[in-house]
A and B are shown apart, each in its own frame.
Chain A
Amino acid sequence: MIQTLNHLPHPDEDGATLASHFTDLAPPLNARQAHLEASRCLYCYDAPCVNACPSEIDIPSFIRNIHTDNVQGAAQKILSANILGGSCARVCPTEILCQQACVRNHSEECAPVLIGLLQRYAIDNAHFEQHPFQRAAATGKRIAVVGAGPAGLSCAHRSALHGHDVVIFEAREKAGGLNEYGIAKYKLVDDFAQQELDFLLQIGGIEIRHGQRLGDNLSLSDLHQQFDAVFLGLGLAASKHLGLPHEDAPGLLAATDYIRELRQADDLSQLPLADRCIVLGAGNTAIDMAVQMARLGARDVNLVYRRGLADMGATGHEQDIAKANQVRLLTWAQPDTVLLDDQGQVRGMRFARTRLENGRLHTTGDTFELAADAIFKAIGQSFDEQALHDPLAQQLQRQGERIFVDAQLQTNIPGVYAGGDCVSLGQDLTVQAVQHGKLAAEAMHAQLMLTVEAA
């Protein structure tokens, strides 16, 4: 399974009990709750929540539809802006997006409208007899999409909608990207990513080819030649390194690797359990890792971050989840040494205490050690450099570590677009990736139709 953790024991509890720890973190609203919550929406004009939604969902409109017993209409409104509205409703950090912008946050009001849960209610309770969107007449154009994550799927759906034929090239066995492999299990339950995928593919005109890895059995040069346009939704496949000795020692691994195994596991009791563990990082992935290990039964879970709570990428809401699961948040400490036992396996980590001096992070000279059976790195993802080594891919302009794109999501190579986490535009969020895919599809469509008219 996870080789580097083969020496660890399994959880004490049986599979069924463990599964019960991974059910919906935020249970869905029932009809009455949805109706009550919908009635709290003020139906704002030029609504702040819409402005705060990266995918520009018309939130007041869909909530009004819910309130007037038009759940199908609500769902279609959501899906027309965001075809992955179901997973976004579950995984979006609404506390820093739509719900943070809600006018009901005002001190005179009670609390923001629960937009995420209402969106989930609409999507979950709309039952379409057939796919709610119809493809335009076939254009004869072919679009290649690399990566079946949220960006790629969104781009594929919108492209298919416009009448283009789409082929998605996906490295892994399943489509869905982080929705399938990377989200905490209790945020996206019941195989939702695959259900959503099935729904999305109903539009037709989308073929997914698995086991296709850019830079391995696939090259951008070939795709560029064979297709009328190419969209790169590569994500950030590689986990960043600590840059310390013994980084390959048994017991030290990327959090994303463990989460992927956990999400795919049929029986959670067969997973390796790190009773004492350290999670390095400060983002939502770090929280997801720490909380999930705690729920598997680990008794001593430490999340260690080199700066303070306020600097953490994880939202206050996420930090609260960690605390509620007895995860200890240790701040102002950075990894110093990986500590190994006689067998060369991880036994803990030595940390150097840090502080800010003139705005720069320094070590204080103090150190401390934490015992641990495993160390999980969640210090960020980076680009898989292997993917872009063919002659054309090497020409892709970069911005920092990411691919450069303009506002239309086009790279510096005409006809090659990119979106999602692999580009520098916007935030690293599912909903942002969906928007990228959608906008790129629109840009490609406009460009392709221009050449049709000219011809």
Chain B
Amino acid sequence: MADLSIVFAGIKAPNPFWLASAPPTDKAYNVVRAFEAGWGGVVWKTLGEDPAAVNVSSRYSAHFGANREVLGINNIELITDRSLEINLQEITQVKKDWPDRALIVSLMVPCVEESWKNILPRVEATGCDGIELNFGCPHGMPERGMGAAVGQVPEYVEQVTRWCKTYCSLPVIVKLTPNITDIRVAARAAYRGGADAVSLINTINSITSVDLERMVALPIVGTQSTHGGYCGSAVKPIALNMVAEIARDPQTQGLPICGIGGIGNWRDAAEFVALGCGAVQVCTAAMLHGFRIVDEMKDGLSRWMDSQGYNSLQDFSGRAVGNTTDWKYLDINYQVIAKIDQAACIGCGRCHIACEDTSHQAIASLKQADGTHVYQVIDDECVGCNLCQITCPVADCIEMVPMDTGKPFLNWTQDPRNPYREAM
């Protein structure tokens, strides 16, 4: 079996599956259970200055799929609501008991040097492996000038990172908020400040739903609600893009990335690694199913790595980064056409109506003598958009087949149809 152990930003762990700073890592009881279940590391739920934060009830709401599967969770819980001293004592003990696991401590204190200078030595004294700066929390804390309020100002990110590197010898991971326009700006600021790594994404500002009887959004606190932070599989596409943006940014080249956002199984994790991550953090999936999921994640990932001939994560980390580029560099002459496997087709007509109403009228519906329909691609009309394949309920029934156009690679910067093309 492939070796899943990693060294990420100088931090060793037996596997790349870490639990993100969140309710599952709130206290020793949970963290010990996580380690017993086999997690490679945890990021302890964010510590702050005393007095500890106070939480409201209720705290979570969800966006559900057609069969009540949870697509995403929204939370309005703040950082730890336990005292700093208790947390530090527990961290010290847990690290002592589990020396082979990565134990990172998430921190959030006011954006003043003194606050950081005070807390950092106390955290380092626990024996933990690193710190993660919570610059991402989008609810509650920003109103007090912390969390995303810091992460959204590159100068603050750089400054705080530098303080941490000054007053502490541990690896510093800067956790980035996705509630910005260009993630690279924040990553560059962290990089300039001396960050050993970035982790992303933190949660996204969200309201998941509205109770139409009480006329209040969810989660409900009394008669009111507020926006929270969104996580879970629904945010994975956003996280993957932000990871890729940083991974292919020359200005932060070589900066380790810890992937977070909708990772629920080994395949999700492998995708984040392929786009440049050296470790991943999981939260929502564990909150929905318990810590046991790490078992299938480890097993699945190492079996897949075996099948690909990868001995370690490094063997494929970042492999998909080079194939991620700007639109203008894509091959204009590349052409795929949908092909329907008539033997697999169950005749639902979804491809037809999707293409007919909303795309290129490239799938004909041919009524048969027995009243059923045969759906046939009109090659000349098909632009290869993938919509039919997406709406088809049968996996692999519709294949997008590359055509031999006989034309050479040509990107938009070279295309004669581009009035602003670069000189040939």
* Chain A residues close to B by CB (< 8 Å): 35-36, 39, 42-48, 51-52, 67, 103-104, 106, 108-109
| B371:A42 contact, CB within 8 angstroms | no
| B66:A42 contact, CB within 8 angstroms | no
Closest partner residue, chain B, to A67 (CB atom): B66
Given known contacts A51-B371, A106-B346, A108-B346, A45 and B67 CB-to-CB distance under 8 angstroms: no
B348 touches A (CB below 8 Å): yes
Which of the 9-residue segments B55-63, B101-109, B219-227, B349-357 touches chain A?
Answer: B349-357
| A48:B394 contact, CB within 8 angstroms | no
The CA-CA distance from A46 to B353 in the complex, in Å, is 9
A contact residues around B346 at 8 Å (CB)? 42, 103-104, 106, 108-109
* Chain B residues close to A by CB (< 8 Å): 66-68, 344, 346-350, 352-353, 365, 371-373, 393-394
Taking a contact as CB atoms closer than 8 A, the residue among A35, A42, A47, A52 that contacts B393 in the complex is A42
| B347:A48 contact, CB within 8 angstroms | yes
A contact residues around B348 at 8 Å (CB)? 42, 44-45, 47, 103
| A44:B394 contact, CB within 8 angstroms | no
Known pairs A48-B373, A108-B346, A108-B394 / 19 extra A-B pairs, C-beta < 8 Å: A39-B66, A42-B346, A42-B348, A42-B350, A43-B350, A44-B348, A44-B350, A45-B348, A46-B349, A46-B365, A46-B373, A48-B347, A48-B371, A48-B372, A52-B371, A103-B346, A103-B348, A104-B346, A108-B344
Given known contacts A36-B67, A108-B346, A45 and B353 CB-to-CB distance under 8 angstroms: yes
Shortest C-beta distance, B358 to chain A (Å), equals 12
Closest partner residue, chain A, to B69 (CB atom): A39
B contact residues around A52 at 8 Å (CB)? 371
With most chain B CB atoms within 10 A of its CB, the pick from A36, A42, A104, A109 is: A42
| B66:A45 contact, CB within 8 angstroms | no
The CA-CA distance from A39 to B344 in the complex, in Å, is 21
With most chain A CB atoms within 10 A of its CB, the pick from B67, B349, B353, B365 is: B349
B contact residues around A46 at 8 Å (CB)? 349, 352-353, 365, 373
Nearest 3 pairs between A and B by C-beta?
Answer: A45-B349, A45-B353, A106-B346
B contact residues around A43 at 8 Å (CB)? 350
A contact residues around B67 at 8 Å (CB)? 36, 39
Shortest C-beta distance, B40 to chain A (Å), equals 36
Q: Is the interface of B mostly helix, strand, loop or mixed?
A: loop
Given known contacts A42-B393, A108-B394, A103 and B347 CB-to-CB distance under 8 angstroms: yes
Shortest C-beta distance, B375 to chain A (Å), equals 10
The CA-CA distance from A108 to B344 in the complex, in Å, is 7
Given known contacts A39-B66, A39-B67, A108-B344, A45 and B352 CB-to-CB distance under 8 angstroms: yes
| A45:B350 contact, CB within 8 angstroms | yes
Shortest C-beta distance, A50 to chain B (Å), equals 11
B contact residues around A109 at 8 Å (CB)? 346
Shortest C-beta distance, B49 to chain A (Å), equals 46
The CA-CA distance from A67 to B67 in the complex, in Å, is 9
Shortest C-beta distance, B313 to chain A (Å), equals 36
The CA-CA distance from A48 to B353 in the complex, in Å, is 14
The CA-CA distance from A301 to B346 in the complex, in Å, is 42
A contact residues around B393 at 8 Å (CB)? 42
B contact residues around A48 at 8 Å (CB)? 347, 371-373
The CA-CA distance from A48 to B375 in the complex, in Å, is 13
The CA-CA distance from A36 to B67 in the complex, in Å, is 7
11 residue pairs from A and B, CB less than 8 Å apart? A43-B350, A45-B349, A46-B349, A47-B348, A48-B347, A48-B373, A52-B371, A103-B348, A106-B347, A108-B346, A109-B346
The CA-CA distance from A106 to B346 in the complex, in Å, is 6
A contact residues around B347 at 8 Å (CB)? 44, 48, 103, 106
The CA-CA distance from A44 to B394 in the complex, in Å, is 13
A contact residues around B68 at 8 Å (CB)? 35
Shortest C-beta distance, B210 to chain A (Å), equals 14
With most chain A CB atoms within 10 A of its CB, the pick from B67, B344, B348, B394 is: B348
The CA-CA distance from A427 to B347 in the complex, in Å, is 26
A contact residues around B372 at 8 Å (CB)? 48
The CA-CA distance from A35 to B66 in the complex, in Å, is 9
The CA-CA distance from A42 to B66 in the complex, in Å, is 12
Shortest C-beta distance, A262 to chain B (Å), equals 38
| B394:A47 contact, CB within 8 angstroms | no
Shortest C-beta distance, A60 to chain B (Å), equals 9
B contact residues around A42 at 8 Å (CB)? 346, 348, 350, 393
A contact residues around B350 at 8 Å (CB)? 42-45
B contact residues around A35 at 8 Å (CB)? 68
The CA-CA distance from A1 to B373 in the complex, in Å, is 53
The CA-CA distance from A131 to B393 in the complex, in Å, is 38
